Amino acid sequence: MKQAKVISVLNMKGGVGKTTLSCNLAIELADRGYKVLVVDSDPQFNTTQTLFKYYTGSVDKYNDLREHNLTIKSIFSSSHRNPGITQEATNQDCNAIYTFEDIQKDDLIQKGLSIIPGDLSLIVDINAATSDRLKAFFFTQKLTERFDFIIIDCPPTWGELTSISLTVSGYYLIPTKLDEFSTIGITILSEQLSEKVAAMEGKLKCLGVVYMMLNGTKSVSGIALKNRPFKETLEGYFKKMSSDVNSSVKQFQTVIYNKQAIATSSVIYKTHDKYPELWERIKELVNEIMTRLQVEEKV
Ligand SMILES: Nc1ncnc2c1ncn2[C@@H]1O[C@H](COP(=O)(O)OP(=O)(O)OP(=O)(O)O)[C@@H](O)[C@H]1O
Ligand SMILES: [Mg+2]
């Protein structure tokens, strides 16, 4: 029986690469033959838009699903007995989970993955009475048995949605930039996390911190002069943070550099022929993640 690794990608700071990481990691994991579910818990639903465009070429299918209330919103708005399953839906696949078909890109096949699509109007359906429904959906739909990896893209706030996402997670992954506000942001995040971890009796572990969109550099260390002081401050802080969040907080070796052209195009690195190194970095990062999770590679 499978036991999915459920990973929330979070940071209260906006624009640090949560969506970028969620999409790229999910695609690479699917590529490796794992069964992957992406949950878009951010009402901005950028992950949903990105993945629908990547797999189907447009967001038409998503609009169709949304019209039929087949998004994450249905999980919070339907009865607790049948969370995420609409009136007309009777079979197991006809609910808030949508599965993309494999696609042919040049001579390579990109394996499909599944998604619980995000929804702009999600925010109005969350309150104390509905907050357990994502957990109930995971349970009734046996999600951790059906998937190898579940990746949750969280919103850039510490609200009910982030908290609910963490409730169903075993791990969290923190993308961050190396600048002044991002560094301060991690210390605030750490305070919030420590409370949540305690509420979950320690069953929530830090998978690691990924440095995103760093300045390019020719230095052997791979870290530009401008980013170095923030790296030092942050890593100096990880020891205290580890004790606060009751698990080891460590940066990944793999870092992602800033490429101007990416800022205005798709966040899926695989599609950027001009920067093949970005996709290589995602693969290295997945290797590191596998080692930390002690997952055996698919053969
Ligand atoms: N390597 C890169 N170089 C430059 N820009 C990048 C790179 N990777 C991603 N970006 C861009 O950075 C922006 C923010 O990324 P992303 O949307 O993943 O962040 P986020 O943390 O999910 O944001 P939000 O907090 O709004 O959800 C996007 O416009 C994206 O295209
Ligand atoms: Mg995002």
Chain segment 181-204, per-residue pLDDT in tens: 999 999 999 999 999 999 999 999
**For residues 234 and 217, what is the distance between their CA atoms, to the nearest angstrom?**
20
The residue type of 199 is A
Q: Is residue 297 predicted with pLDDT exceeding 80?
A: no
**For residues 157 and 237, what is the distance between their CA atoms, to the nearest angstrom?**
21
Identify the residue with better confidence: 297 or 156: 156
Q: Is residue 93 predicted with pLDDT exceeding 50?
A: no
**For residues 10 and 157, what is the distance between their CA atoms, to the nearest angstrom?**
9
* CA-nearest residue, atom 2 of ligand 1: 258
Which phi-psi region, left, alpha or beta, contains residue 235 (left: φ > 0; alpha: ψ -120 to 50)?
alpha
* CA-nearest residue, atom 12 of ligand 1: 263
Helices (H) and strands (E) in the chain, counts: 10, 9
Q: Which atom of ligand 1 is nearest to the CA of 256?
A: 1
Q: What percent of the chain has pLDDT over 90?
A: 79
pTM summary value: 0.94
pLDDT tens-digit map of 105-157: 777 889 999 999 999 988 776 877 788 899 999 999 999 999 999 999 999 99
Question: Which protein residues touch ligand 1 with a CB less than 6 Å away?
Answer: 14-20, 42, 44, 46, 156, 213, 256, 258-259, 262-263, 267, 278
**For residues 37 and 44, what is the distance between their CA atoms, to the nearest angstrom?**
18
The residue type of 43 is P
Matching residue, tokens 């109005």: 124
Separation of 21 CA from ligand 2 center, angstroms? 9
Pick among 3.30.465.10, 3.40.50.300, 1.10.760.10, 3.40.50.410: CATH of 5-284: 3.40.50.300
Domain residue extents for the chain: 5-284
**For residues 153 and 20, what is the distance between their CA atoms, to the nearest angstrom?**
9
